[in-house]
Structure 1
Amino acid sequence: MILALLLLLLGLGFITAEVFFPSFGVLSVLAGAAVIGAVVLAFQESTTTGLLFLLAAVMGLPAAWLAASRMFPHTPLGRRMVAQGADWSKEERAAVEQRVQRFVGQRGRSQSPLRPAGIAQFDGERVDVITRGEHVEAGTPVRALQFEGNRLVVEACHESEEKSA
């Protein structure tokens, strides 16, 4: 019984270690072997003990993996490996929106291919833009439609539209 409990705990430890030390499945295989061994030994003890160990394994392995996965980004290694998004303050977001919002309705020119995101120039200022899915070649005249998220949404405009405006 004690050996079965030790094997179950060892299996849980291996699956937790797999999250922190990627071994390309080696630790997961060891965890599986340890847990299977624990369940087999527990069933040799009694059917009730075996079922309890099986239940513990079925619930414990995912719980251990989930707990380790949630802790990982807070470890020194995790902080280096997991990309941290830039948190903009309301003031920074409002400043960017105000700066770019003035281009809505204006015409500019794409500075890079828009596939669908890229750079366009409006009134001599380079701006991150995105299309609604279409691809636009560099140097194509574009019209700013709206400000969405943190980018200006644009569409290609034809030379005839550009001259009439």
Structure 2
Amino acid sequence: MDSYALMAVLTLALGLALLVAEVFIPSGGVIMAAAGIVFVISVWSAWQAWGKSGELTLFLIYIAALVVLFPSVLGGAFYAFPRTEYGRRLMNPPGLEEMEPFVAETERLSRLIGKTGTTLTRLSPGGMVLVEGARLHAESEGMLILTDTPVRVLAQKGNRLLVRQVRESSAPDPLPTPEPLAEHERTPLDDDFGQS
């Protein structure tokens, strides 16, 4: 077996191994690109070994093997992946015992909606608040809230609370009513929009 034939067979095996590695190792396609380059080198080596020398039958057998092995190995890797320990952890949803702490924390934070507390740190927009004696992570609605300011819990966002500063009066400030325009200040457009 000449060196080109040996290189064609070895690079074919390396390319197939890289295909399997691409399924099991998240690389963002880097391993697949390397496999593509290795397959191109393998086909070139096979052409040098068998295509140029007149043994076209061996070259066509090599191409047929490549066409059959490529999807077979890739399909086999995808078939085997969920049956491995790594694949089961990655593909299966978390079990109840894994979700229990998260569910308990979510329920505890949900019960605090509507309660009032005090900021322990400045919320810009994230920080710490004290609600019912517990120090909790919170964020404001995008507004800066200073330390030791009373806040009300509006919602729960993941493992944080969404809070709003409590105002002294619960009634919102009324909007000022615009005064009607004097006759000399009116324009023709004012008539079109129903101002009188």
TM-score of the superposition, structure 1-length normalised? 0.53
Instruction: Determine if the alignment matches structure 1 residue 109 to structure 2 residue 121.
Output: no
How many angstroms does 1:72 deviate by? 9.9
For 2:164 and 2:72, the matched residues in 1 are separated by 52
Kindly tell me: are residues 120 and 28 of structure 1, through their superposed partners in 2, closer, same or farther at Cα, counting changes over 3 Å?
Answer: same
Partner of 1:9: 13
Equivalent positions of 1:9-48 (< 5 A) are 9-14=13-18, 31-43=35-47, 44=51, 45=56, 46=59
- Counterpart pick for 2:144 among 127, 136, 140: 136
SS at match of 1:87: helix
SS at match of 1:130: strand
Q: Which has the higher contact order (CA 8 A, sep 6+)?
A: 1
| Contact map agreement 2:127 2:139 (CA 8 A) in 1 | yes
Instruction: Determine if the alignment matches structure 1 residue 88 to structure 2 residue 99.
Output: yes
AA in 2 matched with 1:8: L
- Counterpart pick for 1:53 among 66, 87, 100: 66
- In structure 2, stretches of 5+ residues that fail to align are 88-93, 171-196
Kindly tell me: are residues 47 and 118 of structure 1, through their superposed partners in 2, closer, same or farther at Cα, counting changes over 3 Å?
Answer: farther
How many angstroms does 1:135 deviate by? 4.5
| Contact map agreement 1:144 1:152 (CA 8 A) in 2 | yes
Instruction: Determine if the alignment matches structure 1 residue 151 to structure 2 residue 160.
Output: yes
| Contact map agreement 2:19 2:32 (CA 8 A) in 1 | yes
How many angstroms does 1:149 deviate by? 3.7
Computing the radius of gyration from Cα coordinates, the structure with the larger value is: 2
What's the RMSD between the two structures over aligned residues? Answer: 4.7
